[in-house]
Amino acid sequence: MNQSINIPLPGNIKLTVKREDLLHPHISGNKFRKLKYNILEAKKEGKSALLTFGGAFSNHIAATAAAGKEYGFSTIGIIRGEELVNKIGDNPTLTFARDCGMMFKFVTREAYRLKSDSHFIKALQAEFNDFYLVPEGGTNPLAVKGCQEILSDGDKEFTHIACAVGTGGTIAGLANAAMPHQKVIGFPALKGEGLLDDIRKFAPNGNLELITDYHFGGYGKVTEDLIVFINDFFEKTGIPLDPVYTGKLFFGVIDLIGKGYFPENSNVLLVHTGGLQGIAGMNKELLRKKLPIIKT
């Protein structure tokens, strides 16, 4: 579903939001797309369990747990941060995943960095027996295949396609599916080098650009200005944004419009990748810091 944004903008620029957040109440946005073909492959291989990785407020952890419950898989989450083991009930994301039936293994941050190491994976196989491995953030070739389906024939009118970027699978799929006249712009939610190289492994020929000026300090970091923007946008449009991904994307696009980045008469499609489940956890942190909370 595409929704036009009727707010005054310079340069006769049009904004439209692709409401991927409405695909499913719990497996929403790009997580629905990324898991689609991985779920089919897991069934094809006769697996009964899904194992994946994520942090305390991970959209991917929540979506994988929900997908396991819906499609008949047991789920295992390797969670970054040993200190969380006794704090599940204080964390809305982990509480939701647990209630969907996910089993947790909490590991140190040092151990978590080994999530792609073959020896670490073999140790997990020895502990949990046979499982289908879904990488952190869900990004693999099957996830990119799913994300290519975000764009439809009706989206050919757009000149630019913008999305938030985490592990890079979503923007790779968009870049592969975009028409030659369309430029795909990614707004990384985290600091770090090498992300474009990772994306190019899945989308070697895509017409894409990463704009790295809107991470607001890094993954999961927010400022009062960002919160004010998210709440103002919700009041004007009725579209909720999350503070980790889509809030930064929309802030960046509208800021760049004001700076003249987009040519006059550009027709911009912003992909809403979901992630709204993370608002509850962020609001608890904002209340603790005595900052404004995010409205939904």
What confidence tens digit (pLDDT) does each residue in 138-189 have?
Answer: 899 999 999 999 999 999 999 999 999 998 999 999 999 999 999 999 999 8
Q: Which residue from 3, 5, 16 is spatially nearest to 157, judged by alpha carbons?
A: 16
Distance between CA 106 and CA 79 in Å, rounded?
A: 5
**Which has more confidence, 147 or 114?**
147
Would you state the pLDDT for residue 214? 93
DSSP string, 31-72: HHHHHHHHHHHHHHTT--EEEEEE-TT-HHHHHHHHHHHHHT
The residues near 27 (Cβ < 8 Å, ≥ 6 apart) are 35, 63, 66, 67, 70
Region 2-26: mean pLDDT is 94
The answer to whether residues 240 and 276 touch, using CB atoms and an 8 Å cutoff, is yes
- The CA–CA distances, whole Å, from 128 to 16, 21, 49, 60, 103 equal 45, 32, 9, 20, 10
pLDDT of 193 > 80? The answer is no
Would you state the pLDDT for residue 240? 96
- The CA–CA distances, whole Å, from 35 to 40, 65, 145, 242, 279 equal 9, 11, 10, 20, 22
Would you state the pLDDT for residue 219? 81
Would you state the pLDDT for residue 202? 94
Instruction: Tell me the per-residue pLDDT of 204-254, one tens digit each, with 9 for 90 and over.
Output: 988 999 999 999 888 878 889 999 999 999 999 999 999 999 999 999 999
Distance between CA 60 and CA 169 in Å, rounded?
A: 12
Instruction: Tell me the per-residue pLDDT of 253-266, one tens digit each, with 9 for 90 and over.
Output: 999 999 999 999 99
Tell me what the pLDDT averaged over the chain comes to.
93
The answer to whether residues 146 and 37 touch, using CB atoms and an 8 Å cutoff, is yes
Q: Which residue from 213, 186, 190, 216 is spatially nearest to 200, judged by alpha carbons?
A: 186
pLDDT of 62 > 90? The answer is yes
Count Cβ atoms below 10 Å from residue 44 Cβ, excluding itself: 10
Would you state the pLDDT for residue 213? 92
Would you state the pLDDT for residue 28? 86
In the chain the first and final C-alpha atoms are separated, in Å, by 19
**What is the model's pTM?**
0.93
Band (280; pLDDT cuts 50, 70, 90): confident
Q: Which residue from 282, 136, 290, 264 is spatially nearest to 216, judged by alpha carbons?
A: 282
CA 143-146-148 angle, 5° bins: 115
Q: Which residue from 222, 268, 269, 217 is spatially nearest to 247, judged by alpha carbons?
A: 222
